[in-house]
Structure 1
Amino acid sequence: RLSERIFAIREQILGFLALIEISLDFSEEEIEVLPLDELKIRLTETIAQIERLLDTYDYGRLLQEGIKLLILGKPNVGKSSLLNALLQRDRAIVSEIPGTTRDYIEASLELDGLAVQAVDTAGIRHTEDLVEAIGVERALKQLESADVALAVFESQRELEADDRALLEIIKQHGADVNFVLVQNKADLGQSASAVAALGELNLPLVAISARTGEGIDGLKQAIKNEIFRDSSIESEEVVVTSARHQRALEGTITALRNALEAVDLRASEEVLAVDVRLALDSLGEITGETTSEDVLNHIFANFCIGK
């Protein structure tokens, strides 16, 4: 559990502060204070533990908030059919008339326990229709908050002007959004030139048929791969899901890094104590505990003082 991990880290930091306080307040006692080199090793280990927790935050945020999955493509490429295939039910209107989805349609689904908000957008194309043009603009606006975007093309056709416009959008936003390229209507064949052109983007490419269900499982796997592409989270690992906890841990690790730098500079115990106390105060934003009495308790529990 996260609370157990946090309290274990707090005990380690309390130990650091107790040693520093002993050095400051009980210098005449015959107590062997932890050497600075050993303190440096322990500080480094504790910092690494906090870094590992912070590394889980993006994953934890997705677990807490779910992900936003955007479906992009020219009109009549099969975006609405793809949404329905992912949902395994009809949510979007499917029509042969280009521009049927003029704004966007949202639907919720679950992907291996992960909440997904799927957004079927208006077809990406140049249009004189004011209402449809607004829908296209809103589709592009949705990219700003998307975690993964499915860029849909027709498998059996060579790329057209509207497809190439989508390629430019991918290039513009590729640094901020994880894209998966989808060749829909694979049951009707596959254009070699389209495959070659899409392959130049070096992005995941999945051939599917939203109509028959072919390739949908593979597409779901590709989506999951993109969601967790930068994650090395183990299945049983504790994760940070709260932004408040993340900020507190960031403050803790900053203070401990300052303490580590102070050790390297052979700074005084007073300087070290300030940094370590700041680390405990920051962690206290999670635990709700104060420092002073706990430090004294730690000292008397772990050292033979006054005997």
Structure 2
Amino acid sequence: MHCDWRNGPGSREGLHGPGRVGSGGDGARPQRTENGRLPRPSRRRPPGGGQAVRGRRHPRRCREARLLAAVTAAGRVRVPTVIGYGPVPGLTVSALVTTDAGTSTLGDAVRAGQMPRPAALLRLALLMAAFHTVKAPAGVPLAPGIGQQVSALAAHCPKQVFVRLAPALEVIAAGARLERLVWCHGDLHLENVICGGDRRLTVGEHGRPRLPDYLVDFEAATVEVPEYDLAQTLVACDALEPSDRLFVAAAYGRPVDTRLLDAYVTFQAVRGWTYAAHREGRDRDAWAARLHLALSPHSGRTAL
């Protein structure tokens, strides 16, 4: 069992079961870090084993439970099963309790030499393609879309960098198509996929790959075009070289507008650099390299 503790108003009520879905909690939005994302939750096990505990600040205690329930019902992607959620009696926190999917991520597998990096990127692309077929649940608050993200970025990004983003934003604006919108995970990278017990890819119903891994962390889930999600993955995984972009876009297996993908890569790289390196002083060399690749007029372009 896995428990996600979240700050929230105290209550005398116990945890809700997965069938009792209430409204989201209130309170200030959590502070985001790299690429505008929340810090990665800590997964820890208490002495003697038992349930796994994950801690993170978040006032909307019902939101992720409803998102997980929607993904589970669709049956395309594995996620931890919700056992219960709600305020913890006597404490000023709320909790989301799920089955324990484990702690070993795709990133862990790559670092340990248990999985080649291309194989891990393939898993991400297949998971994303499957997730994009799931309909976003109605009435559940999602993360801000591209419009709000651009407005927030304009307030924090140095002007000399933001002006270089203008050509990409023009392409993004021109590529907005209502019929192409999908439910995007928003932060699909190697640390947000928990390795399943059997790491082999097999073919399931209708020739679809049967994916053994678990998708976690839906804090950045929103509705956008597929290229938005693909670009975030490319940036977060340092897969910005032309060969990586081509490989991930091809493995995704669904139509991709490569010009739009390149524009979103530029946007996601500038956004990540602004929040992580410029504002917080973290990983400056890594983000400088990503920014250089994303803003270069010729390097890194995707050609399918």
Settle same-fold status: TM greater than 0.5.
no
Greater share of helix residues, 1 or 2? Answer: 1
TM-score normalised by length of structure 2: 0.21
